[in-house]
Amino acid sequence: MSESDIRPPPPPLLRQCILEDFKEPVVFQGLLSNWKFLSWDLQEWARVLGDKLMPFRSGVRKVTPVPQWERSCQTTHLTMKEFLELAEPKEISSGKNTSNWFYFDYKYMHQWFKENPDILQAVCWEDFGFPEQRGEQSTVWIGSDGAHTPCHFDTYGCNLVAQVYGMKQWILFPPKASASLLPTRVPYEESSVYSKHNFYSPDPHIANGLHKAWIITLKPGEVLFVPHHWWHYVENIGTAISINTWLPLPSDCESRLEECLVKLLVSQLSREVPDTEMIFNPNEDDASGCSLQENITLLETCMQQFFEQQLDREQLHTEGESPEPKRMKTVPCDSNDLWDRRTSISHYETFIQNVPTYSGDQLQNFLATKRANFKSFSSNNPELSSVTFTVEKVINALCHPDVISVAKTKLCQEFCGNNL
């Protein structure tokens, strides 16, 4: 066994590959040795978190006609011990909650674990080349079996997800699959584009048009890299805990401008909708009250930042330097050449593995098996007023990612001509 087979890849090499080279999901193994709570069982988590009340989103373990959007879920405040009594009963006869799942999801650790500095300090992404990303910049996800996030893609950055306890299943699709995944901006959440498809209790025919999927069940100690704009559906297999961090990319400045356009359109179009709560996710309730002036000010700020970034790139290009922002530069490895980096990273297959792929037929069979696990049905699709129904359709037409991309380009041309 060669030295490169047993030693992990150097962090600068990993950083460059994550930010520039990896175009498909990969799984890292053996790089979380310093995360001390990987050895904790659930009882230790309950002891450490004590009487802290945490908001758990609760959904149903049933077939539903649409995804279980956050707005359709209940919120229950539980301590970790109370959560485990629902998720991990000692005996079936002890009253296991078989009709609901619970999820403490997308919570920034610096807000919820400030009284637990040991947990915050244990989270460090330095071995992946990102020493600036620590617990303060990470989010935590704690949920029972079946807890899940509807299929979506993140408009900003790329994603590293560490599995801390239990297992979590990921179904991923590349950006080019967007048309078949039916993008929707309702429910509206800044930085998230959802799919209308329900992958929790799926109709197998949603696989039609999806020619390839990346599917993996992440185990404790493993870290998944989710590339920029990749669609993903995520579900706990048993009680599970994971921690992630989003890594900024140069393209985020452009994405922020597009998201400003979406927010402007959504908030203005929904202003007189009688049931506004059906348009917005709970954490975006304040967006419905944004005035036109507030939205325009935000849009102008994002446009200014975008133009400044373009000028910086032009200047660097003129000076013969890399067009990427200086903050994204990394420490050189053996070579800056892309081929050399890919050759170097191939030596570390012990630590880096590709995510298994499924053909369209295999995906359909996978979804059919998943659907067969459900015996009961439920409707979580509230009746909308005719105005809200129409506004939802208009929002999805005007805020479709393809339309917003064109609108952003046309808007910039209006302000600075055809030089962009």
Segment 349-362, tens digit of pLDDT:
889 999 999 999 99
Q: What pLDDT, on the 0 to 100 scale, is given for residue 327?
A: 37
Q: How confident is the model at residue 88 (pLDDT cuts 50, 70, 90)?
A: confident
| pLDDT value at 363 more than 70 | yes
Residue 355: its H or E element: none
Segment 375-400, tens digit of pLDDT:
888 876 777 789 999 999 999 999 99
> Beta strands of 109-201 (E only): which ranges?
124-125, 130-134, 139-143, 148-154, 158-173, 183-189, 192-195
Q: What pLDDT, on the 0 to 100 scale, is given for residue 2?
A: 53
Torsional sign, CA 186, 190, 196, 201: negative
Q: What pLDDT, on the 0 to 100 scale, is given for residue 321?
A: 54
Q: How confident is the model at residue 318 (pLDDT cuts 50, 70, 90)?
A: low
Instruction: Tell me if residue 248 falls in helix, strand or coil.
Output: coil
Per DSSP, helices labelled H in 325-377 are 338-345, 360-372
Map out the domains of the chain as residue ranges. 3-249+336-382, 251-323+386-420
Torsions phi, psi for 215 (to 5 deg): -130, 130
pTM of the model: 0.91
Segment 207-258, tens digit of pLDDT:
999 999 999 999 999 999 999 999 999 999 999 999 999 999 999 999 999 9
Segment 305-317, tens digit of pLDDT:
999 988 877 776 6
- Determine the Cα angle at 173 with ends 167 and 177, to 5°: 160
Segment 122-158, tens digit of pLDDT:
999 999 999 999 999 999 999 999 999 999 999 999 9
Cβ(74)–Cβ(86) below 8 Å: no
Q: What pLDDT, on the 0 to 100 scale, is given for residue 97?
A: 54
Burial profile 228-250: b = 16 or more Cβ within 10 angstroms, e = fewer: bbbbbbbbbeebbbbbbbbbebe
Q: What pLDDT, on the 0 to 100 scale, is given for residue 5?
A: 52
- In whole angstroms, how far apart are CA 255 and each of 82, 191, 250, 285, 307? 40, 8, 10, 21, 13
Q: What is the mean pLDDT of the chain?
A: 90
Segment 33-82, tens digit of pLDDT:
889 999 999 999 999 999 999 999 999 999 999 999 999 999 999 999 99
DSSP 276-298: GGGTB-GGGGGGGG--HHHHHHH
Mean pLDDT of all residues in 89-117: 81
Q: What length does the chain have?
A: 420
CA–CA distance, 62 with 379 (Å, rounded to integer): 9
Nearest-CA neighbor of 347 among 1, 2, 4?
4
Q: What pLDDT, on the 0 to 100 scale, is given for residue 376?
A: 86
Q: What pLDDT, on the 0 to 100 scale, is given for residue 90?
A: 65
Write the single-letter amino acid at 188: Y
Mean pLDDT of all residues in 102-107: 97
CATH dotted code for 3-249+336-382: 2.60.120.650
